[in-house]
Amino acid sequence: MKLKLNIDELTEDFFTDTRLLGITATIKNYQFCWQLNHMLGYSFRLNPEIEIHLRKKERSYYFPVYQHEVRNSFLNHYLYRNHCDGEYLLPEFRHMDFLWLIKGDCIEEEHCRQMIQSIKSIGGVQMVAELTNEKIKNKGHLIF
């Protein structure tokens, strides 16, 4: 008997109660995280256990993931670097430098708008936009 992993179902489960922001910024990941932590009160830390590894054209690409856990809640924030050596985690969003996944609990619309405004206030950030699930073609690349 063979068991087959249902990737579509796995992906759908992973993206339940999530929101995804795309961020265009001219700063390095560690500088961006430092600013998020110091200016906006987050505690993003690099989590090597959930780093995304993609293999394309006989090469390996590693996309770092930074994590912030909200105390006394199921809510987690994950910040992905969208590019590595000319490859993209989500090629359909090549113009985005970072992808911010909010997962684990429902986020109110107003809270999301306030977050976007706060992120936009950081030096080096050029654009922040919410990415809808329908527009994401390579959702599986975000699953750790």
17 CB-side CA count, 13 A: 9
Q: Is the pLDDT of residue 92 over 90?
A: yes
Pairing of strands 52-56, 83-84: unpaired
Considering the chain, what is the average pLDDT of its residues? Answer: 88
Higher pLDDT: 143 or 128? It is 128
Least confident of 17-21, 31-35, 42-46, 67-71: 17-21
pLDDT band at 120 (very low <50, low <70, confident <90, very high): very high
Q: Which residue, 53, 67, 28, 62, is CA-closest to 143?
A: 53
Going from the N-terminus, what domains does the chain have, and what CATH number goes with each? Answer: 15-142 (3.30.310)
Burial class (CB in 10 A: 0-12, 13-18, 19+), 96: buried
Mean pLDDT, residues 82-107 taken together: 92
Mean pLDDT of 72-78: 91
User: Would you say the C-alpha torsion 82, 84, 90, 94 has a positive or negative sign?
Assistant: positive
Structure tokens at 31: 């500088």
Backbone angles phi, psi at 133, to 5 degrees: -55, -35
